[in-house]
Amino acid sequence: MSDLRELYLEMVTDHAKNPRHRGKAEPCSCIGTGNNPLCGDKLVITINKKGDSIVNVKFDGEGCAISIASADLMAEVLAGKSVNDAKNLFEGFHQLVTGEGNPEVPKKLAVFSGVREFPMRVKCATLAWHTIIAALDGSTEVTTE
């Protein structure tokens, strides 16, 4: 049986309880809303972008510990990255949480490797990512259902 401690690592619970990037990015270049209708979770992600470069990312909304921590750590990792970097990071993150590979990811994303043992929680971990990638691609609303 998968270990709960692998899912709720200290960094995850810390960012879930005390997110650093809650709020609205100013000036806001793009905005995306992510819904997880089964859980009732909703995240609004705002991005301050200059040209191809992501200056900073903020999120707001309600969600479980995994989705909030994932949104917060995603915001931390994406600051200063290009849109292309973001897409590559998401690809690696997606492989990490679904267990489809052993990608190289930043330490702050690697804390979600335990999610692969909890398939029902993959959509929690990826909600923020799906939302931001869609927003960067010009779509304003996504759902993980």
Partner 1 sequence: MRQISQIADAFPALHQSVGENPLVYLDSAATTQKPECVIDAVNHYYKSDNANIHRGVHQLSMRATKDYEGARGKIASLLGAASSDNIIFVRGATEAINLIAQSYGRPRLSDGDEILITEMEHHSNIVPWQLLCEQTGASLKVAKIHDDGSLNIDSFKELLGENTAIASFTHVSNAIGTVNPAQELCLLAKNAGAVTVIDGAQATGHMKVDVQEIGCDFYATSGHKMFGPTGIGCLYGTHQLLSDMEPYQGGGDMILSVSFEETTWNKVPFKFEAGTPNIAGAIGLGAAVDFINELGYDSIYTLEHELLVYGTKVLKNIEGVRLVGTASEKCAIISFTVDGVHPHDVGTICDHEGVAIRTGNHCAEPLIHRLGLNATCRASFSIYNSTTDIDKLATAIQKAITILG
User: Contact positions toward partner 1, by CB under 8 A?
Assistant: 1-2, 4, 7-8, 13, 16-17, 37-42, 62-66, 68, 118, 120-121, 124
Q: Which is nearer to partner 1, 28 or 38 (CB)?
A: 38
Q: Which is nearer to partner 1, 48 or 131 (CB)?
A: 131
Min CB(25)–partner 1 separation in Å: 23
Min CB(70)–partner 1 separation in Å: 13
Q: How many CB atoms lie within 10 A of CB 45?
A: 30
Residue with tokens 């779509």: 139
Query: Cβ distance 15 to 53 under 8 Å?
Result: no
Query: Cβ distance 28 to 48 under 8 Å?
Result: yes
Min CB(42)–partner 1 separation in Å: 7
Q: How far apart are the first and last CA of the chain?
A: 26
